[in-house]
Amino acid sequence: MDVNDEIRASGKRMTRTRRAVLSVLEQSQYPLSPTELYAQLKKHKVAIDLVTVYRNLVTLKELGLVTQLELHQEGQVRYEMREGRQHHHHIRCKSCGRIVDLLLCPLKKLTAVIEKETRFVVGDHSLEFSGWCPRCQ
Amino acid sequence: MDVNDEIRASGKRMTRTRRAVLSVLEQSQYPLSPTELYAQLKKHKVAIDLVTVYRNLVTLKELGLVTQLELHQEGQVRYEMREGRQHHHHIRCKSCGRIVDLLLCPLKKLTAVIEKETRFVVGDHSLEFSGWCPRCQ
DNA sequence: TTCCTTGCAAATACTTTGCAGACTG
DNA sequence: CAGTCTGCAAAGTATTTGCAAGGAA
């Protein structure tokens, strides 16, 4: 079942703007904020409103096609494609803002410890590093 | 050097509102958002403006007296006293919003791994869990 | 033809800024 | 007294909502 089918299976429709949003996200090397995504779309001469970008991102997130991130000190949200990507985290440069994937996650064991200690049932976790990238050091 | 001295040593002053903000933060069992802090102050009949709460929190953060947190999916910032508290993280209930401290941090070793892998110099990290607290399960 | 989707305008939420008067040391 | 701090008004940024027209299946 491809993206198109997944959208239609949920009763939603594959529209011109939806396709464009997905396309930009697929091509991006890093998670995009709604505003950045909007700027990319404009650059590619796609006629779309910022509000539509927001609404499409909400929809795609609900369908589980994209993942939403909130990086520290940014005051905005970012999205990245989920398609086949394994669970991962990010590191962000405090100087230039560059965001790089971290393909590791040390928290599986920790979750059990936390559940025992707090009696919470753990759902998600978010982990993010920040520092200075090679160029900015 | 107590809080009072620390503030004065930086050329800042210990004012009525600053004292009130610190007092509420000291008594809170969990990190407070500016708005929650403001509500507490009002409840204690402290005459203060929300803007002043924001400004004092910025100042106290710059002085290292409070720590700022941004929990996932909250869309607001929180602050907690730093005074002698060890480095820690939080878990938040997705249902009632309750926030509980986690007194562990498994990330010291990981930092070295990440620095080698990404060539970043790691500054900070943020780690947060969310799930369902005992009452909400 | 149904009803999901879009654009535009407007509202909301959180946070920051400008300025003149008030207060601390 | 000098310089910091405060309240009030207003601006700024990110995001959401209402509504009527447009578009997908």
Q: Could you tell me if B31 and B57 are in contact, meaning their C-beta atoms sit under 8 angstroms apart?
A: no
Query: At residue A84, does pLDDT exceed 90?
Result: no
137 residues of chain B, pLDDT tens digit each: 789 999 999 999 999 999 999 999 999 999 999 999 999 999 999 999 999 999 999 999 999 999 999 999 999 999 999 988 899 999 999 999 999 999 989 898 899 999 999 999 999 999 999 999 999 99
Both A64 and A102 in one domain: the answer is: no
Strands B99-102 and B89-93: antiparallel
Residue from the list B72, B93, B114 with its beta carbon closest to the beta carbon of A102 = B114
Q: Could you tell me if A12 and A59 are in contact, meaning their C-beta atoms sit under 8 angstroms apart?
A: yes
Domain ranges, residue A109: 86-137
pTM: 0.94
Q: pLDDT over 90 for what percent of chain A?
A: 93
Both B116 and B101 in one domain: the answer is: yes
The whole-number average pLDDT for the span A99-103 is 96
The whole-number average pLDDT for the span A71-85 is 94
Write down the pLDDT at residue B106: 87
Q: Could you tell me if A77 and A34 are in contact, meaning their C-beta atoms sit under 8 angstroms apart?
A: yes
CATH code, domain with A56: 1.10.10.10
CA A64/CA A9 separation, integer angstroms: 13
The whole-number average pLDDT for the span A41-54 is 98
Structure tokens at B134: 């005992």
Both B77 and B93 in one domain: the answer is: no
Q: Smallest CA–CA separation between A53 and chain B, in Å?
A: 19
Q: Do B114 and A125 touch (CB under 8 A)?
A: no
Write down the pLDDT at residue A106: 87
Q: Smallest CA–CA separation between B7 and chain A, in Å?
A: 24
If phi > 0 it is left, if psi is from -120 to 50 it is alpha, else beta; for residue B66 that is beta
CATH code, domain with A109: 3.30.1490.190
- Which among B84, B99, B129 is the end of a domain? B84
Give me the sign of the Cα torsion angle B49, B55, B61, B65.
Answer: negative
Terminus-to-terminus CA distance in chain B, angstroms?
45
The whole-number average pLDDT for the span A63-75 is 95
Q: Where are the beta strands (DSSP E) in chain B?
A: 66-69, 78-81, 89-93, 99-102, 121-132
